[in-house]
Chain A
């Protein structure tokens, strides 16, 4: 591999934002036919580096070399012309939902200066077909609106489009953050194929298991500086140590064992969340953390929505301490002590132009206001600071804007807002999306030590994520609970098998 010339190199890259030094003297080489994994903790500077390479920040120190020649990209468009194509983390920024698959694929053509002034539908479709060839997207209907597709297919379209320009370097920023394990497998197959075709791929992910599986070499950024390059074979543990230094294990924890005749904190009794769903039965005991895993579409989010009062169940009961409750709105759910951290933090959880303080106190504003609804600033500040310290949000102060924080720290804030008071049930739906390993560790440690009086439900498509925190794993597939295992008796392959079964197999099993 080293005998070949690198297609793209970054040399001594540095970048400051005001007084903050985001990157300092970072150098990497990216070779053709290689998947280069880039890892780093939150705020270590990964995104900054990518944004420099793809032309988003034209103002930086050091050089980006393409085929050995230094180039200066002044815009993402420029970078694309130099052969650097990027697929960004947030899928929906990469595709236009109100356009068809064909139009999305052929977008570059529609926008190019040399293109025709008029849209020729046949031409677009032909072009789109050619582009989709490379990613084997035969199963997609070219005339379907992208908004109707699964997250995975949208991601594939974004990647296919990036490939249409025949890039020297393809940058993928957290490409699996919102797709399931099985979909990720499809993606990996395609990436491996692209590597064999000689494409150079820069792969950024928080999921170290993916990096371990996929990457040929791994580059580490640590606190804005070069943290070393690891060659194959690498171990997850090594990568973690290179990223963040030694890290203690999550405090050893003995899963609570329910006493005989103990009334469960939360019980679902034949709960049917949707007309097409099977009835769900589940008991969660006080102090227990139950992890629900399953592919996207297995029914996790639908269940969460019912528990949180967003949709009404078709039939069945939800019991708290043996008493039936039926939240008809989010407010009623909150009043019943059922809280939820929704998936898709950026769109559903944070209020971007609010400070950390204002974000954290949103659910319980009435606790922080007195006479006539006047806000009690001092109490608000005090409680916010308490939570920031407790869960370890890295920030300048409680008044920093939340969108200045890294993904992991934003997530800490979003989780912390529900931990200010006691709860019966806290639901975390895909809580680790775009959250680095250190923050994940902090969040898990905190919730593990603070769920003594309540029940916790963690939902994630990624099995490893739930294994890390849960006392008991429940697998959902095709709207049904297909099996469960206690953490002490985990068998990964059985769990994965349950996850991946087809609906016919499940029916046979019953």
Chain B
């Protein structure tokens, strides 16, 4: 009995995942086609990337709720840079990353120096950014030919190189954003699990006072976690802008919950019971796969959020109830 419990804690999630992968394919063979599999991955890319940032902040016992609006901000700023300011694609990416980093720094300082609790601070920032991103464009979406306040038309364009980031495919098959997601996942995995900094993040998450008393610069690490999260979120926004090709004001909606959901589902993977990169990515892919498969089987779209919620709650209940006695 004990053995079954420990196996199901460790591999339960992956078993369910493989089982659903097989069942969907059996029910609808098109599910297994390469193009569909990559469309699943492409579908989860943006929030999976955001979830990586969330994972970092979770590891240091924080939670960044502003990742969604940071990404949306990034979408607007990328568009604004290229369409209105007529900057190059590279400059646009740089602008986005700088802003993302600054948002993270702002979060970090608010939490560490002003001592606002993580959830409240990032919730506040979320609203702040959501409002701020609307101001430069006067609340409208940004696209070539849009009317500027001074009556002229914006003549800039999304550069081709920039659009390639979101729409290109390697060998005509693998979407570029998916590659970015995997590379970023590997990088964040190395930071959290293989490097000394990750060790300190987790130590702070486990017992911040103990970490401080062995000489860890707890405040600095906390700030760093939010800066990393902001950087990653803004990069997610860059990919999103490149995919949709315009500065859509509503592009960020829903990203936050999906990202936080993926990071939390990750707790269940391999019985980790703590934020971890592998789990986060698997969690994001699992949700994407489930929605894709169910949609193929004609599940109406308005079921989607309910399905995500069900997966999240079951995953959390499963990990925390079964693994209680470890």
Chain A residues within 8 Å of B, Cβ to Cβ = 18, 308, 310, 329-331, 333-334, 340, 342, 347-354, 358, 362-363, 365-366, 368-369, 372-375, 401, 417
Contacts and interface: CB of A to CB of B under 8 A. Distances in A.
A351 B215 contact: no
Contacts of B200: 365
A366 B217 CA distance: 13
Nearest to A369: B196
B279 to A, nearest CB: 15
A350 B214 CA distance: 10
A333 B274 CA distance: 32
A358 B209 contact: no
A353 to B, nearest CB: 5
Contact of A372 (B195, B199, B212): B195
B212 A330 contact: yes
B214 A417 contact: yes
A192 B199 CA distance: 50
B196 A362 contact: no
A349 B196 contact: no
Nearest to B191: A373
Contact of B213 (A18, A330, A352, A368): A330
A412 to B, nearest CB: 16
B215 A347 contact: no
Contacts of A373: 195-197
A333 B214 CA distance: 10
A449 B210 CA distance: 27
Interface centre among A358, A401, A417 (most CB of B within 10 A): A358
Contacts of A374: 190, 194-196
A228 B213 CA distance: 42
Given A342-B213, A365-B200, A354 B194 contact: no
A354 B213 contact: no
B162 interface: no
Interface in B39-77: none
Contacts of B215: 329-331, 333-334, 363
Interface string B164-198: 00000000000000000000000000100011110
Nearest to A18: B2
A358 B214 CA distance: 12
B203 interface: yes
Given A365-B196, A374-B194, A352 B209 contact: no
Contacts of A352: 206-207
Interface in B129-185: none
Interface string B199-225: 110110011011111111100000000
A348 B196 contact: no
Given A363-B215, A373-B195, A351 B210 contact: yes
Given A354-B203, A362-B203, A369 B195 contact: yes
Given A331-B217, A334-B215, A340-B213, A375 B199 contact: yes
Contacts of A351: 202-203, 206-207, 210-211
A18 B1 CA distance: 10
Contacts of B216: 362
Q: Which 5 A-B pairs have the closest CB atoms?
A: A351-B206, A363-B214, A369-B196, A373-B196, A362-B214
Given A330-B213, A375-B194, A353 B199 contact: no
Nearest to A350: B210
Contacts of B206: 351-354
A329 B216 CA distance: 10
A373 B198 CA distance: 10
7 contacts: A308-B213, A347-B209, A348-B207, A351-B206, A351-B207, A362-B210, A362-B214
